Structure 1
Amino acid sequence: MSEQRTPRSLIVTFYGAYGRTRPGPVPVAELVRLLAPVGVDAPAVRSSVSRLKRRGLLLPARTESGAAGYELSPDARQLLDDGDRRIYAAPGPDTAGEWVLAVFSVPEPERQKRHVLRSRLAGLGFGTAAPGVWIAPAHLYEETRHTLERLQLAAYVDLFRGTHLGFAATAESVARWWDLSALAKQHEAFLDRHEPVLRAWHSRPDTPPEEAYRDYLLALDSWRHLPYADPGLPAELLPADWPGARSAAVFRELHGRLRAAAAAFATSPETSP
């Protein structure tokens, strides 16, 4: 989930925003048209689609008219459905103060799976409490379970849910489990890139669909990575000047202002040059 502003990432972002609601596969020619406003040329689209196909995220299919296209695989749909809960929804109050622990043990003959497990848990937003012991806010349980089952790694992991009882203060422990300085820099980078865009839209009475689509897709592509790096840590456990709330507010405002106009452009047959 760390590839931002790459053609591959932008294609995944496009499918997450618009590809799931289509009645059939997205024609390759339409992908080329719809990635052009965000600076992705035709060769980059085709190359990136091929890589996503090799990774099992996109499946080749024909449209009703017989044109070549691609649709999401079931695994990709599950990934995007899980991602929606991070991108658009806040954790419910029932998980506040609760944590999910992932404790894993991999036999030596299968030690290569240790790296896979570590990278997947880190990619889900887990922090490291101790060697082989990873921790995250409890609202990530369902997505963690889906991911481990999908990757056939569940047999190596035990999941626990509970509260932190000491001995250090929980805020001190959170600062050890996650690199809060690095997370803050990611929020600040998002703000540097997209807060000026939001201010520019504030000064405009109109919302041209193609411009809305461009700015929305770029903001969504940047934002969708952040809830994986910062998994929704409780505000009371974070530094007082934490930029996460501000970056979330900027994304929500861009989402509210641009989403409808962007969707009109993405679904219009008039998008071709």
Structure 2
Amino acid sequence: MEDEILEASEALDAGAVSAPQLRPQSLVLAFFGNHVLERGEGGLGVYSGSIIDVLGRVGTGEQAVRSTLTRMVNRGLLRRQREGRKMFFGLTAPARSVLRDGGQRIWRDGAVNEDWDGTWTLLGFSLPESWQRQRHDLRSRLGWSGFGALYSGLWIAPGRVDVRDIVSELGLDAHVKVFHARAEEFTDVGLMIRESWDLEALAARYVAFDKRWTTETTPDADPIATRLRLVTEWLRIIRNDPRLPVQHLPEGWPALQAQETFRRIAEQTEGPAVRMADELLETTRLRSA
């Protein structure tokens, strides 16, 4: 695995690393997380034109932003309020919960799990052969929650993971069993991790992030756009990282270096982005829902 990480780094050294295509909804959520979440408990609304201006700085067109805002209102993630001819958008309680969860991963948990206590969460399931959709939905949700497939019907995640909401929402309570356990000494945990998660793909994402943001970024040029893209890209990576115990990962695991790069640029852009937002954003206080 160490060789694969080195090969990925050398391949990136050979050419430029293109920025990933970011979904408009992810950018909108990052925008509200950066500039709205901590400025009043859901009471601040931002003019749609301001949102269009900021997202335009990272290459998202006006129509894409307007369509995304409408979809997010329909999904209950945003609420809107008209004042004259202008429409203002603010966060709903579910959106604030999503953003706080993301903030926990970004600013407090971090990308490297150095405090694992040896506990694993094991989830076993047995579904009827005809339940293809339910099986797909469960596997997708488990992967998003940090689980890897130990066997086809037995999935595992580091630490104690609460999966009650996932199982209940999918209506699979009668088909799922969950345990917490510790591996015996003769179990090769490193091998188990390599067999259950695609470490090569995860490492490559960290290497690419670090390469791109180390060599191709000038934060001072447009701090509000730089920080928006930075946070959105970083969250996309760590949301797909199960935070495996660092002592069982290959030597030279690139998440730590990538995290240092992220935090350095985040610190550089924080103050300038806030000042720029104060100048650019037109806001209002939203009426109680």
Report the CA distance between 1:4 and its aligned residue.
4.9
Alignment of 1:165 with 2:165, yes or no, is no
Alignment of 1:53 with 2:73, yes or no, is yes
Residue aligning to 1:230: 241
Work out which of the two has the higher radius of gyration on C-alpha atoms and give 1 or 2. Answer: 2
Distance change in 2, residues 1:59/1:258 (3 Å): closer
* Structural RMSD (CA): 2.8
Report the CA distance between 1:145 and its aligned residue.
4.5
List aligned pairs for 1:199-238, cutoff 5 A: 200=218, 207=220, 211-238=222-249
Residue aligning to 2:276: 265
Report the CA distance between 1:154 and its aligned residue.
6.5
Deviations along 1:175-200, one digit per CA (max 9) or x if unpaired, are 001011111111112112212256x5
- Give structure 2 stretches of 5+ with no counterpart: 1-19, 283-289
Distance change in 2, residues 1:270/1:71 (3 Å): closer
List aligned pairs for 1:1-273, cutoff 5 A: 4-22=21-39, 23-54=43-74, 56-62=75-81, 67-90=86-109, 95-106=116-127, 111-138=132-159, 141-142=161-162, 144-145=163-164, 147-148=166-167, 151-153=169-171, 155=173, 156-165=175-184, 167-197=186-216, 200=218, 207=220, 211-266=222-277, 268-271=278-281
- Supply the distance in 1 between the matched residues of 2:247 and 2:275 (Cα, whole angstroms): 40
Report the CA distance between 1:157 and its aligned residue.
3.7
Distance change in 2, residues 1:213/1:165 (3 Å): same
Contact 2:210 2:261 survives alignment (8 Å) = yes
Report the CA distance between 1:239 and its aligned residue.
1.0
Contact 1:145 1:154 survives alignment (8 Å) = no
Deviations along 1:29-56, one digit per CA (max 9) or x if unpaired, are 22112212222221121122233334x1
State the AA in 1 paired with 2:70. Answer: S
More moved, 16-25 vs 248-257: 16-25
TM-score normalised to the size of structure 2? 0.77
Contact 1:4 1:222 survives alignment (8 Å) = no
- Supply the distance in 1 between the matched residues of 2:216 and 2:49 (Cα, whole angstroms): 29
Distance change in 2, residues 1:173/1:35 (3 Å): same
Contact 1:190 1:247 survives alignment (8 Å) = yes
State the AA in 2 paired with 1:193. Answer: R
Contact 1:99 1:137 survives alignment (8 Å) = yes
State the AA in 2 paired with 1:74. Answer: A
State the AA in 2 paired with 1:20. Answer: L
State the AA in 1 paired with 2:209. Answer: F
